[in-house]
Amino acid sequence: MFNIKGPLIILAGAGSGKTTVIINRIFYMVNYGDAYSGKESSNDITKEMIEKFKESEECLDEYLKSKITVKPWNILAITFTNKAANELKERLSKKLGENSQSIWASTFHSMCVRILRLHADKIGYTQGFTIYDSEDSKKLVRDCCKIIKVDDKLLPYKTVMGEISRAKNELKSVIEFKIFVHNDFRMSKISEVYGLYQKTLEESDGMDFDDLINNTVKLFENYPDILETYQSKFKYILVDEYQDTNHSQDYLVNLLAKRHNNLCVVGDDDQSIYKFRGATIDNMLNFDKKYRNTSIIKLEQNYRSTKNILSAANTLIGYNIHRKIKKLWTEKEIGAKIRIHTAFNEYEEANFIADMMKKYIEEGGNAYSDFAVLYRMNSQSNVLERVFVKNNIPYRMLGGVRFYERKEIKDIIAYLSVINNPSDSVRLRRIINIPKRAIGDRVVNLAVEVAIEKNLSLLEVLAKAEDYDCLKKSSTKVEGFVSLIKNLINIKKSGKLKLSKLYESILNDTEYIKYLESYGDDPRARVENVKELSSNIIKYEEENGEEANLSGFLEEVSLLSDTDNYNENVDAVSMMTMHAAKGLEFKNVFLPGFEEGIFPRFQAIYKPEDIEEERRLAYVAITRAKENLYILNSNSRMIFGCTSNYKPSRFIKELSSELVEKTKSKDWKKLNPEEDEPRSAYELQLKSTISARKFNKITGGITTEPGNNFRNNLEFGVGDKVKHALFGEGEVVDILDSNGTILVIDFLKVGIKKLAPQFLSKLSLDSNSSLSAQKNRDFCARLVRKY
């Protein structure tokens, strides 16, 4: 806390008050600086001064303060969400007053935007570059896939988007990625999309979230003088939630900290749950190896949960091997045992949750806002919602359709973005026919081709449509749209109208409200959303005063995350995924779906490191609870239209028996009088594939609809070589239910696919298959890498 020199890692367990630690550390740096290890002293220290110092810092004379304290503008504090950054700013303001205004406290992305707005011209962008949020990026990737003719069934655009983001997180350029994957057909296709996607972004003067980090790194590496400026400025760097950093973020921090080496990172490796976003737990685990003479501080006292909840969390996470050893403790009471309930199916599970909530409410001392239901997959919320509606239980979902992702809001934001950055061709394409202007897709596509060929922006091409033979016939229709956009751009450039008035001009000039009133379902709600956006703009103007501008507003909107809008004062049950719940806390927590194949998910059970990630997620979910924790599992559950039996999650068995209290559904007991535990398709599948190469016909699994009772007549087993008419040759790597009705195949050309066996033919062992011994070895290598 007091030693501010050199690298420091603070291992802050769940609920240990790490935000308070960061704030106090900054407070002491500004007020006392390096007094802890410094040798400076006043010349005339008296006993009276020492006694006075015990009560107040006022005894520090100006000479001593000038020697040891840290200037606020030399401090950089990085967090992961806007909500956390705003909380940091507010609490620093209360402790430091005006001094807090000079501290850079922001998210990674906000910090990079601030730097790039000053220097973007150095790397080929304008200072008014556009930021593409995740929805914009998703749409652009889909468009690029269509242009390159990538079959979405063979290569889903979400997979493509994930691989592009992963490449960027690893700081791989388009060329480097292409070289890296040149021998892989599937990844080579992705590299083509990556190239077109990046080219389109750059031509539109746009950056996605990954580019904000990578382009800052690029700026620093290409311009050492600029890097040196920021290294000199940021003498003391603090990073919160360090376990969530990816390679590019870690590399950026390393660049900034390299000169002074005064880097403090705060985090909890046991809460590293964002591997799917590119986060790597190794940044946390290897910090003390990377930075020599690292000091290590552990924060193990929890101020949130009862002793029983913490004991359960400690027991569970203790099964992980790759972690920094720590053990949470609390001064709070022992509290209630963890309730583990086994339901007959997902409906009984949801009804049990609803009944318990109503019971707590009736007994008094609880509001609906004291309850949270956290699940592994979004699809689990469907039954819960239906049951809550039936029982008149108010709820709100974190992770539903966010305000800024609604169509009407995206439309208006697109108009604002084009006005701010006329080169933004992606958003220009979105609004060219909103409202309807009879400008067909064919015309737009032709204009895009001309823009690419002539190295012009789409707006520049449309403005001179009559100069191009392919666009002459449509030039009259296009002219009206171009005139509208240019007029709005001129209004913005003149600076005569405030942002809120410019917004009104867009609505009036485009007749967008009139368009909404005649468009689609629930026009009233859409109009109200557009008016609500006006309120947000006015609020932004009030908060930023004379500095409020269009570029700043768009930047703020693009960097918003779902949890930034979380309001704990709404009296409703909170429903969200376990990932979304990180950083939140609730008096009473329900965790449905603790079953093998659901949590941990099927895809994780083959890799120890993935099981450890799933266990960390369970640890995060458990430590959200303050007083009461319910863990639920179902004997059977319908997922994606198929009903299967499931075995209780291994995470339930890993909890100490003295900490839990188990109950079972009456329906389950009645229908399974001789069984102590439900049988599972997963368990039977696993036993059969281990004991024999062929998959045995066994009972269980999909049992609901007649159409689902198709039997695996060919008796495919794990390891069988198969052939598909479209995908070619592959190997069975998994069977997702006991009847063998869903097979997981790893195909040589297209990778992992899930298929019904009737679409496959089995290859005999002595057939002239292209899966030769050498290819088998390659196949296994690919399996380890991809699956």
Q: State the binding site.
A: 12-19
Kindly name the residue from 34, 211, 241, 411 that is annotated as catalytic: 241
Whether the Cβ atoms of residue 506 and residue 512 lie closer than 8 Å to each other: yes
* Residue 143: both structure tokens together: 């468009």
Q: State the CB neighbour count (10 A cutoff) for residue 784.
A: 10
Write down how long the chain is.
Answer: 787
Kindly name the residue from 91, 166, 492, 624 that is annotated as catalytic: 624
Query: In 3D, which of 6, 556, 9, 5 has the Cα closest to residue 239?
Result: 9
Kindly name the residue from 19, 294, 603, 703 that is annotated as catalytic: 19
Q: Is 216 annotated in the active site? A: no
Element (H, E) at 57: none
Distances in Å between the Cα of 148 and the Cα atoms of 151, 154, 157, 214, 683 are 9, 13, 12, 25, 43
Q: What is the largest CA-CA distance in the chain?
A: 95
Q: State the binding site for ATP.
A: 12-19
Kindly give, in sequence order, each residue whose CB lies less than 8 Å from that of residue 372, ignoring residues fewer than 6 positions away.
573, 574, 575, 576, 581, 584, 586, 588, 589, 590, 624
Angle at 225 between CA 220 and CA 226, to 5 degrees: 50
Whether the Cβ atoms of residue 727 and residue 163 lie closer than 8 Å to each other: no
d(CA 300, CA 330): 8
| Amino acid occupying residue 250 | D
Indicate the burial class of 362 (C-beta count within 10 angstroms; 0-12, 13-18, 19 or more).
Answer: exposed
Q: Is 18 annotated in the active site? A: yes
d(CA 625, CA 305): 6
d(CA 314, CA 15): 13
Kindly name the residue from 163, 203, 205, 240 that is annotated as catalytic: 240
Q: Is 202 annotated in the active site? A: no
What is the three-class DSSP state of 375?
strand
Phi, psi of 457 (to 5 degrees): -75, 160
Question: CB-hemisphere CA count at 13 Å for 667?
Answer: 14
Query: In 3D, which of 689, 649, 706 has the Cα closest to residue 698?
Result: 689
Q: Is 674 annotated in the active site? A: no
d(CA 615, CA 649): 11
Q: Residues with catalytic annotation?
A: 18-19, 240-241, 271, 624
